[in-house]
Chain A
Amino acid sequence: MKILTCPMNGDRNIDEFQSFGPVRAGLDPDRTADAEWARHLFRAENRKGVVIEWWRHVPSNYYFLAERDLVSNEIIRTFDSSDPQGRT
């Protein structure tokens, strides 16, 4: 089982975590056409490459961000969502 390093709780088994998918660009609901809104709700990008994802440490209910390579499944780094260095 993979180990994920939680910015708050340290190294933990990955089954303590829940993935919330890649960070997505926010859409302004008032300026989005119906078709685009439906796509936003029901379709997810799944391209090869490195993504930044939301993860939750379930026992502590703490949300943070992880940069992960979708091909190798390597978790490159994890950081708190308020970390200004984190957002690249």
Chain B
Amino acid sequence: MSRLPAPWGSRIDRGRTVRFTFEGRACEGYAGDTIASALAAGGQWMLSRSFKYHRPRGLFSMTGAEANTLVQLPSEPNVAADLTAVREGMAVTAQNVNGSLDRDRDAIMDRLGHFMPVGFYYRTFMGPRRDSWLKFWEPIIRRKAGLGKVDTNAQHRHFDKSHLHCEILVVGAGPTGLSAAIAAAEAGADVVLCDENPEIGGSLTYGRDDPATLAGLAERAQSLSNLRVMTATLCNGWYEDNWLPLIQGDRLYCTRAAEVVLATGSIGQPAIFRNNDLPGIMLGSAAQRLMRHYGVRPGRKAVVIAADEEGYGVALDLIEAGVRVMLVADPRSGDMQGPFEAELRASGVSVQKAATIEAAEGTAGNRHLARVRVGGRWIDCDLLTVSTGKVPAWQLPCQAGAKVGHDQTTGLMTLSLANAGVHLAGYVAGDDGLEGSFRGGRRAAEAAFSRLGYEVAPNANDAASSPTMRAAHVQPVVAHPKGRDFVDFDEDLQVKDLHNAIKDGYCEIELVKRFTTVGMGPSQGRHSALATARIVAEATGRSVAEVGITTARPPVGPETLGVLAGHHLPLERRTAMHARHIALNAVMKPVGAWWRPYFYDSGDEARKAIHSEIMAVRQAVGLLDVSTLGKLELRGADAGEFLDRLYTMAHASQPVGRVRYCLMLNEMGSVVDDGVAYRMAGDRYYVTATTGAVARVYADMLFWNAQWRLRVDVLNLTGAFSGLNVTGPKARSLLATMESDIDFSREAFPYLSGREGVVAGVPVRVMRIGFTGELSYELHCPSSLAPALWDALMAAGEPHGLRPYGLEASRILRLEKGHILIGQDTDAITTPDELGFGWAVSKKKPFFVGKRSIEMRARLGQSRKLVGLRFANDAKAIPGENCLVLRGGTPVGHVTSVGFSPTLGYTIALAYVYVGDATEGSLVTVKCRDGALVDVPVVAHAFFDPANARQEM
């Protein structure tokens, strides 16, 4: 174990040991360790094999920013080992290896690399046949280059979403973000401060800063009740009008902030030289994180690349942790000595200026760093820390509209943002050093809260300050003739790969990216974008600013689909009679959002129960809860005119007290809905719509009237009103026994008329319509009173043999009558003519929606028609819904509804057939599910009671 004593290791609890396995081998860590830090403490530095060449890779940034640390957990692939806490019993394995991590049979790929030049995929897998890619190459590549395995039996986790509102959101709780959040909160603003790390402080938690600095800031932050600090929270994108997703564990906070301060800090950049990817080579900040967060000594003998003060700080830290620093290599020449450098020189460590790391070499199989060559001299070491400059963390700023620039003299990437509600602070704004960070944070906070109308403290003059200039240096790109000088670790891309792409003519950065895949891996260009821009700029004779970087889009980091989906909140609607149905043993089924009785379980088998419900309707009387029907009330002087324009029949001329069928078309002339309209008064109609379509019908009505501006109001009463259909030959005698002011007699209340009144003390509007084909009264009333009406009907109906019936009986009853269901018996192109509904289309009206199109379509000729089919009881097969109707082997239509009719004693169906076959007696061929072809005769739509004697009695 290479653990350092406390106070090294701020995140770990040495009192609690955690046992886990890696590649089947028993390992140990402490509570608070990540997988990578626990493994490093045990001497396991290699974590993965690279994507293309299967080279050993280890931790590099300790920020989860690259593919190097992706490992497999039993139920989760692509877990970042340097971010994910290690847990007791965790079984961690390497991914993308053939065999084991240590002995990967595909390590040979590293020597075959020259057979796989850049663009290899595009060039190689084109043939030999058109489908070779899908059939042959893709399966091989997927096996060789897959990243992890998905466990399709993984346990569901609980995910949820929350909404968060604040005046100022500060992203990043480093010194900049902390000072911004504190300044804004002290001015009185409602502030949220988020950071992906488990604690606040950012670089203050691992850098060489006085611990009292962070302690002081933390104390001030804690004392502010209007500052909410959210740690372990990833801000994963910026969307318009300051809407930002914050992900904390399995919860997504959908956050809306009036002002946003982005203090996202910097990203350390790798140096480019031969074998710069060996385990043991890491960012200086990664070495500091290992030591200060986890108490892990990152090596025994180190070479330190220090192109800035921070690099010298890393060297000092290493010395304090007992690491032998063999050499500090500073690529800069000249004298720009800072305090850390002075301190280091005083300790006697050798410092080489104008130094270049030329190459590194590994142990056997390149499993770990063995030596590095600096200025022609090989130095043995097992650790190389890299501090060769940083780039601003540009992802969120660029999503918010920031433009990337490049300072040619300093070699630094810059950001400029013209978005009034978003403020850059700290390194992304050009502030450098601790004092610069504090000033930058306060400056952004002042800009944000002054926009909100808060007063800026009189002694604060940070707003006027400008970002401090940073130390200038240029990160070296040392290309090697033998390659393995990686620009992008994720995609195994070397300097020559980019040069080859440019030679092939891909000179624009977006094209270079697409051809080489640079920046497409999990790091999303964090470690490669600047180097790529510089290589392309140099090769094409342009400036880095002209070349630019590729577009940054959300998400900033990987996110699980569960976080996006949230938890399952199904929308569910119940009618007012729901409890009555349950009490009557109804088997409930979902119909869209609604739950409806499918049938009432009488202890018999389902088929028999349904048949007896049908027979009750045909022979006595049944009761159906039709509350899910759409119910719209239209009021106003132009209500009739409005219906005339929307529906195909004439409604303005409809007498008061009459009920009329309504058929709605869309502009294309296709049938989209039907129902009935009951004219309750000259300026008042009660209109029904189908359960599934009412929301759209209601929306469409208002959209049309936003354009027509007729004098009509539309009220959607679907939930407010309930409907009960009393249907069957004994319906009238049942209602006649009830206490009511309505005369239900045939003479006073004929078919297709409506009445308002009171039944059993409940105010009702009653319509005589006949979906079942029997004498029917449909009673509509306020939903709050519907259960009372149901109870009264059930009680009064007992002597008449009243039975409640369910959806399946209703479906068969209407099929026996040949009544269509919109959406089941119609599709997107059904015209009224195809349904035989010419009677329902007014020939007199000058206009209704769809009129122009059905006239035009009629001229094009009709190809199909909906007809009835009758199946003999000895038919060799019965088709299901959607089975094809064939004509000479060619599909000409399909079956839309099918069922056995207990009333008729045989199976009936509705189907679209070729229009020439749509005459009674024609034989059509139906292909059943098992492939059997059945010839069946065409019959009239109305299988039962075609003369309508029963419903009109």
Contacts and interface: CB of A to CB of B under 8 A. Distances in A.
Contacts of B856: 34, 37-38
B698 A61 contact: yes
20 contacts: A1-B239, A1-B243, A2-B239, A3-B241, A13-B243, A13-B256, A20-B703, A29-B847, A37-B853, A37-B856, A41-B853, A54-B703, A54-B706, A56-B699, A56-B703, A61-B716, A62-B702, A63-B702, A63-B703, A81-B707
B240 A2 contact: yes
Interface string B648-669: 0000000000000000000110
A82 interface: yes
B274 to A, nearest CB: 47
Interface in B231-259: 239-241, 243, 254, 256
Shortest 5 CB-CB contacts between residues of A and residues of B: A29-B852, A63-B706, A1-B243, A2-B240, A3-B241
Contacts of A2: 239-241, 243
Contacts of B256: 1, 13
A30 B243 CA distance: 48
Interface in A50-72: 54, 56, 61-64
B23 to A, nearest CB: 44
A12 to B, nearest CB: 11
Interface of A: 1-3, 13, 20, 29-30, 32, 34, 37-38, 41, 54, 56, 61-64, 73, 81-82
Interface string B682-703: 0000000000000000110011
A30 B851 CA distance: 10
Interface in B682-735: 698-699, 702-703, 706-707, 709, 716
A32 B852 CA distance: 9
B240 A29 contact: no
Contacts of A63: 702-703, 706
B702 A41 contact: no
Most chain B CB atoms below 10 A, which of A3, A20, A29, A73: A29
Residue of A30, A38, A61 most packed against chain B (CB within 10 A): A61
Interface string B524-565: 000000000000000000000000000000000000000000
Contacts of A54: 703, 706
Nearest to B847: A29
Contacts of A73: 240
Contacts of B702: 56, 61-63
Nearest to B859: A34
Given A3-B241, A56-B699, A41 B706 contact: no
A29 B851 contact: yes
A41 B703 contact: no
B853 A82 contact: no
A37 B706 contact: no
Interface in B850-864: 851-853, 856, 859
Contacts of A41: 667-668, 853
A82 B711 CA distance: 13
A71 to B, nearest CB: 15
B177 to A, nearest CB: 23
Nearest to A29: B852
Contacts of B851: 29
Given A32-B852, A54-B703, A61-B702, A1 B241 contact: yes
A64 B706 CA distance: 8
Contacts of A3: 240-241
B631 to A, nearest CB: 15
Given A1-B239, A41-B667, A62-B702, 13 more contacts: A3-B240, A29-B851, A29-B852, A32-B852, A37-B853, A38-B856, A41-B853, A54-B706, A56-B699, A56-B702, A56-B703, A63-B702, A81-B709
Contacts of B709: 81-82
A25 B856 CA distance: 21
A3 B421 CA distance: 14
A54 B702 CA distance: 12
Contacts of A38: 856
Contact of A1 (B240, B667, B853): B240
A73 to B, nearest CB: 8
B159 to A, nearest CB: 19
A32 B847 CA distance: 14
A3 B242 CA distance: 9
A1 B255 CA distance: 10
A36 B239 CA distance: 40
A18 B570 CA distance: 21
Interface string B823-859: 0000000000000000000000001000111001001
A58 B178 CA distance: 41
Contacts of B703: 20, 54, 56, 63
B419 to A, nearest CB: 13
A2 B243 CA distance: 8
B669 to A, nearest CB: 9
Contacts of B706: 54, 63-64, 81
Nearest to B851: A29
A20 B707 CA distance: 12
Nearest to A2: B240
Contacts of A81: 706-707, 709
Contacts of B241: 1-3
A52 to B, nearest CB: 13
A79 to B, nearest CB: 12
A13 to B, nearest CB: 8
A81 B853 CA distance: 27
Interface in B250-281: 254, 256
Interface in B515-530: none
A75 to B, nearest CB: 10
Give the one of B709, B851, B853 with max A CB within 10 A.
B853
A38 B706 CA distance: 24
A81 B704 CA distance: 12
A63 B714 CA distance: 13
B469 to A, nearest CB: 34
Nearest to B701: A61
A13 B853 CA distance: 37
A1 B254 CA distance: 9
B854 to A, nearest CB: 11
A41 to B, nearest CB: 6
Contact of A37 (B240, B243, B699, B852): B852
B632 to A, nearest CB: 12
Interface in B134-187: none
Contacts of A20: 703
A65 to B, nearest CB: 9
A82 B240 CA distance: 29
Contacts of A62: 702
Nearest to A18: B699
B72 to A, nearest CB: 35
A3 to B, nearest CB: 4
Nearest to A65: B706
Contacts of B243: 1-2, 13
A2 to B, nearest CB: 4
Contacts of A29: 847, 851-852
B636 to A, nearest CB: 15
Nearest to B698: A61
A13 B256 CA distance: 10
A50 to B, nearest CB: 18
A73 B240 CA distance: 10
Residue in B239, B706, B707, B847 with the greatest tally of chain A CB atoms within 10 Å? B706
A41 B698 CA distance: 21
Nearest to A3: B241
B679 to A, nearest CB: 24
Nearest to B704: A63
Nearest to A80: B706
B24 to A, nearest CB: 46
A82 B852 CA distance: 27
B479 to A, nearest CB: 42
A32 B856 CA distance: 11
Contacts of A56: 699, 702-703
Contacts of A32: 852
